[in-house]
Chain A
Amino acid sequence: MLGAALRRCAVAATTWAGPRGLLHSARTPGPAAGINTLATYDLVPEPKIIDAALRACRRLNDFASTVRILEAVKDKAGPHKEIYPYVIQELRPTLNELGISTPEELGLDKV
């Protein structure tokens, strides 16, 4: 399922990562536009896309959005509970490098 959506993910990644250099507006859209768009697609983003989004949040000094993105990934997986742990496993080096805590570590996955 992840493999099948890779092409679309890659396209999505390039579309929101690419035009940033061509924008003439003062404010770059940041990871929000891309993540919100990806959330409307019927797929769970590949770890490398999430990695790019997390690094974008780091560049913008936005810690809260990193947690939100991880929450969104888990939510997108829906009933397929094995996807989110895999994504976290793949992202673990980046999470450690940037000092990002998962929602579970922060206790935000409980009501």
Chain B
Amino acid sequence: MLATRVFSLVGKRAISTSVCVRAHESVVKSEDFTLPAYVDRRDYPLPDVAHVKHLSASQKALKEKEKASWSSLSMDEKVELYRIKFKESFAEMNRRSNEWKTVVGTAMFFFGITALIIMWEKRYVYGPLPQTFDKEWVAMQTKRMLDMKVNPIQGLASKWDYEKNEWKKRGQEEGAVTPDGGRDVCLWNRACCTSPLLLTWSSSE
């Protein structure tokens, strides 16, 4: 009880002195970023502060003239008043730019660098392709698949004409229709056009 009384006495003194210190501290200038800021935004037409904070003498005189009838203001004075309060007009803040060209160009540039890296990688890092990619191997593989009639209804074997011993022509398949005929299947088996095989550098027939 006595201790708390003493404490409260000390506490009051401490508080009063610290209040003096804090009051003095509040005289210190606030940082700019803590004060309301000016923004040019479509969804915030009237910002919290004016654009120009410190007016010249002529601007101050103009501000006085603003208090009178606005019909007495000239066009230039009206524009000056606008420029004091606002940085960019709506037309200026909404203007288009050519930035997209820079962005697309930079993206394509790095795409090209990546292509160079991959070319280097193919030449110096990767080993040879397996023999299963050789034209001869694929031909033997395809022949074997046809012999065992792989996917005879809609797939590979359905595209082969077993009487004439050749690939069926477009529009010749019975039954199901595929959008690409037998060509893409044939091409795949010749290992020409599929994506991991871009690295084979082989020409398509």
Spell out A's residues near B (CB within 8 Å): 31-32, 35-36, 39-40, 58, 61-65, 67-69, 71-72, 74-75, 98-101, 103, 105-111
Contacts and interface: CB of A to CB of B under 8 A. Distances in A.
Nearest to A110: B91
Given A71-B45, A108-B91, A111-B92, 17 more contacts: A32-B46, A36-B45, A63-B73, A63-B81, A64-B81, A69-B46, A71-B90, A71-B91, A75-B45, A98-B70, A99-B69, A99-B71, A106-B75, A108-B90, A109-B90, A109-B91, A110-B91
Contact of B94 (A75, A101, A107): A75
B84 to A, nearest CB: 7
Given A103-B90, A108-B91, A64 B82 contact: yes
Contacts of A31: 46
B160 to A, nearest CB: 58
B164 interface: no
Contact of B42 (A65, A69, A75, A99): A75
Contacts of B148: none
Interface in B144-201: none
Interface in B14-40: none
Contacts of A109: 89-91
Interface string B86-109: 100111101100000000000000
B29 to A, nearest CB: 22
A105 B124 CA distance: 68
Contacts of A62: 66, 85
A102 B66 CA distance: 16
Interface string B127-139: 0000000000000
Interface of B: 42-46, 48, 66-67, 69-73, 75, 78-79, 81-82, 84-86, 89-92, 94-95
B44 A39 contact: yes
Contact of A108 (B48, B69, B79): B79
27 contacts: A31-B46, A32-B46, A36-B44, A39-B44, A40-B43, A58-B70, A63-B78, A64-B81, A65-B85, A67-B78, A68-B45, A68-B86, A72-B45, A75-B90, A98-B70, A99-B69, A99-B71, A101-B75, A103-B89, A103-B90, A106-B79, A107-B79, A108-B79, A108-B89, A108-B91, A109-B90, A110-B91
A98 B79 CA distance: 16
Contact of B89 (A32, A35, A71, A100): A71
Nearest to A32: B46
Contacts of B78: 63, 67, 101, 106
A101 to B, nearest CB: 6
